[in-house]
Amino acid sequence: MVGEVAPHSGAADVDVGGVAAPLLIGRDGDLVRLGQVLTNTSALVLIEGEAGVGKSRLLDEFLSSPAGAVHSALTAVCPPLHEPYTLGPIVEALLATDVDTVANLDLSGLAGALRPLFPEWAEHLPPAPEPAEDASAARHRVLRALAELLDKLGVNLLVVDDAQWSDDATREFLLFLAERYGQGPSLVVAYRPEDLVGDPWLLHLSGRLRPHRARLRLVLNPLDESETAALASSMLANQRLSAEFAQHLHAHTEGVPLAVEECVRLMARRGDLVRRDQGWKRLPLDEIVVPPTVRDTVLEHASRLDQSTRSVLRAAAVVADPIAEQMLSQISELPPAEFAAGLAEAIAHRLLHLRDHLRVSFRHVLAGRAIYDATPERERRTLHERAGRVLETVTPRPLAQLARHFRHAGDGKRWGRYAELSADVALETGDETTAGALLHDVLTNGDVPAEQMCVLVEKVPFGSFTGPGRLRDLAAAVRRVLGRGVPDPGVEANLRFQLARILNDMEEFDEAHAELERALPHLDRQRASPAVAMMLLGWPRGRPPAARHLTWLDRAAEFARSLEPSDRLRVAAGRAAALLQLGDERGWVEAAHMPTAARTVRDRRIITVGYLNFGDGAMRWGRYAEAGRWLATARRLAVEYEQVRITDLIDSTQLHLDWFTGAWDGLAERSAALADTDDFHPVSRVEPIMISGLLRMAAGDLVQAAEEIERVVAGARDAGAWDTVAEAVATLVQIRLREGRPDEALTISRDPCEVVAEKGVWLWGTDVVPARVQALLAVGAVPQAQDLVEAFARGLGSGRLPAPQAAVLDCRGLLAEAAGDHASAAGLYGQAAAAWAALPRPYSAALSRERQAGCLIRAGAVPDGLDLLTDVLSGLSSLPAKLDVDRVARVLRAHGRPVPRVWRGGRKGYGSELSPRELEVVALAAEGRTNREIADALHRSHHTVASQMKSAMRKLGVSSRAALSARAIATGLVSEPGTAAGD
């Protein structure tokens, strides 16, 4: 009861019923801005604010206002699930509408992809389409189908509240809608920034918005002191608060509306408020307790309710999601009358509220979490078990919720079953992240039998994991089961095979190989696993000699003969790629039999990856024209089969090829974009990082180049990728030699050269062997250099390996030069330069010609040498390679030759103007196309388009795509969409 100072003032006591619902305070301007921006045909609104600041309240007020009522809105609320279920908020929002059937919506056949999400509508949905070849394609298909469903339902405003808890698929759906060409629903996304620290998806959402769409970001800040007082006053019959009370309330709630509301209610219930002189004051601070957090407030609030109400609150807290009254009653196990009374009181106290279709949920998630945390552990387990059993009666079964409830109930068997089923649905819809999280949780935290573990690990999409942590968890879980002993040898072998797959993905190749060798004798010969195991053992990772890899690859080929066609193709493609990495000519014979079209969905990925690997192999051999053709085919297939993630790997290999062939225009921007690609495994980033380091070295930035190359060496060495280590170390050696540090160059080049020699894969010596020869000669170790060159030439034999054979000529030139035989050295360098140029590899050719010119000068043929150096200067300038240009120019000047002004880097001829390729990109951007659509139209990678877009923005002095389009149209650089050029 609230105390009365004047007994005859006529004021009424304030109890629960006397504290009114608060008005919306301090948000009038936000409501106006929201209404204005949503009058546009299509807009994006981001509403940012901390927990309890009033985002949901603002949305409720807007949607119930005249401005909001004109919209056909769909509101999706993201629940704070431990593992969010695939597209759950959107699905639940649609199911909560009054749409009972989709039979009359005239949906296209694409809508059949929605069957896993809406089994209750299955009889009215089109047949399920043919399975997509990979997860990204399946996910994209579902997003398109879901967008079509919204269009058919006439939804023109999609509201997503509590987006910080959204699942990855829901986020991708919002990105998809933002990127759509033409009209689409306006998007309103409300979220807590504190729960999205380091998560850039909202930046991506805003950045991908079509230029024709309006956008607005509302940041809801806590209320100031006067607004806090106004909010509290609206709850207390609009009577004013004393200045001291308002100051105290603001200081202890920091103006967070939810905290203000709950504190006022708590103080009113505790009798800590008094009304005096038509206003409200609080009692002295030592006589009341104001909770410092919302959680304390909620718990205090709940503690003053009767037992039946608290039982209802605990049941609702355990359920977490909105749930029908009848089901909540069953979970609480209260007598019907007690449940009804408890629910009514919880709603009256504004802890719970009724949503559409009489579903019950907490008004504030924080309140529900506070109740959950305060519920004794034993009672929580009991409630989770009840919730699971009640939800098992629902059709369709909410699989993710069931997995969560049985997990916390300690029912491992049911948890595992529902987690697997939920993961299956996620995989069917292309949501690998959710599937991976569900399976990871049950495998690492559940008590999974060995046989079931084999099945579940087989389903885990390793590519959905970022970083090594979850893979390490899985490996530890499998090892625990193995450590307990597995009686069945076949099950044990299969489990070891799965462990090897995990270790292989972690790039722990030595351990992976050991497990594969232990598993092989007992693997089921009726399945493909033995052949796959042999193929994995054949991949040249780690330090085992090439002969061992070749033995495994030959055994894999023999075993694969009895397999099904798809499995044979899988083994053949992997075997061919491995042979090429080993420098074995047989790889080309295998590659020649690779089909250009897939017979089955499963074959699509095998074929695309096969062409990618063959392109990589051709590049490493020095067969650059072939590499380009292999990669072009891989790109065509990846686009045709919607293999988005593979496209990035193709782009990375193309980046490397462009470095070799001298196509350096825009290479730095492309390498930076690829290195930042979220989908890349950290090890996959080393290739673009290496190209960045090579470009920096050529530009003369040796310090930064060395830092990047050292990162590459460390990452590749940890992964056992000695081919990459060798190439990267070669660059680092060149840097150290140019810095005058030959001893360090000698030290860092020892290990990779020893590995190349031990393995007998001299293909990997193309760059590192000449680099080590230079280091050896720099310290006077001529005999060792001679031995290394002879071993290199002997190891290559007579195979058609153009790049390493050109490197041998350079090495022989280095030896001749060190011996003082400058005429012979000049001839050898000339042969090397011609060999490099034939590939073509212009940078290496120019460096060989530079050495040739130096030897000609020292041999007395000064004019010839200087003429050749002049040509070299021109070639290096065209790349451009500033460091080398400056060095060559100094030699020419020292001999009295005039040196023309050379280009110092950057795009030639355009300066601050847009290049023709940039103009093409800007023109399509002005039409509202996305980067990926532009890339498809211009047959470029989306990373190239992104770098050209960024360059155009910089040149035109703008910071957004919308501003870029407007500036380009205003200045006449491009025509306005819909207007013919010249009109």
| Cis bond upstream, residue 840 (ω within 30) | yes
* pLDDT score for 8: 29
With helix as H, strand as E and coil as C, how does 515-527 read?
Answer: HHHHHHHHCCCCC
* Structure-derived torsion over alpha carbons of residues 339, 358, 418, 320, reported in degrees to the nearest 10: -70
Range in 32-41, 785-794, 812-821, 932-941 the model is least confident about: 932-941
Regarding beta strands 273-276 and 279-282, do their DSSP bridges make them parallel or antiparallel, or are they unpaired? Answer: antiparallel
Report the candidate in 821, 713, 801, 813 with the shortest Cα–Cα distance to residue 773: 813
| Amino acid residing at 44 | L
Classify each residue of 16-47 as buried b or exposed e, where b means 16 or more C-beta atoms within 10 Å of its C-beta: eeebeebebbbbeebbeebeebbeeebbbbbb
pLDDT at 278 over 60: no
Average pLDDT (552-563) is 92
Which domains does the chain show, CATH number per domain? 3-21+225-292 (no CATH), 28-101+156-219 (3.40.50.300), 296-375 (1.10.10.10), 706-894 (1.25.40.10), 916-970 (1.10.10.10)
pLDDT at 287 over 70: no
* pLDDT score for 683: 61
Distance CA 600, CA 607 (A): 11
Of residues 233 and 932, more confidently modeled: 233
pLDDT per residue as tens digits for the range 630-681: 999 999 988 887 666 678 889 999 999 999 999 998 898 888 878 866 555 5
Which runs of consecutive H residues, i.e. helices, occur in 224-271?
Answer: 225-235, 243-253, 257-270
Average pLDDT (531-551) is 91
Beta-bridge mates of residue 187 = 44, 158
What contacts 555, CB < 8 A, 6 or more positions away? Answer: 534
Give the C-alpha distances (Å, rounded to integers) separating 270 from 301, 349, 798, 909.
10, 14, 93, 78
Helical pair 529-538 and 489-505, crossing angle rounded to 10 deg: 40
Regarding beta strands 186-191 and 43-48, do their DSSP bridges make them parallel or antiparallel, or are they unpaired? Answer: parallel
Do residues 948 and 924 make contact, with C-beta atoms less than 8 angstroms apart?
no
pLDDT at 276 over 60: no
Average pLDDT (814-821) is 96
pLDDT at 956 over 70: yes
Measured in whole angstroms, the distance separating CA 30 from the mean position of its chain's CA atoms is 33
What contacts 961, CB < 8 A, 6 or more positions away? Answer: 207, 209, 211, 925, 949, 953
What contacts 274, CB < 8 A, 6 or more positions away? Answer: 2, 3, 4, 5, 280, 281, 282, 283
pLDDT per residue as tens digits for the range 709-724: 999 999 888 877 889 9
Do residues 46 and 192 make contact, with C-beta atoms less than 8 angstroms apart?
no
The tokens describing 622, both together, are 């020095």
Average pLDDT (311-336) is 93
Do residues 427 and 438 make contact, with C-beta atoms less than 8 angstroms apart?
no
Do residues 76 and 169 make contact, with C-beta atoms less than 8 angstroms apart?
no
Do residues 51 and 294 make contact, with C-beta atoms less than 8 angstroms apart?
yes
DSSP H or E run through 282: strand 279-282
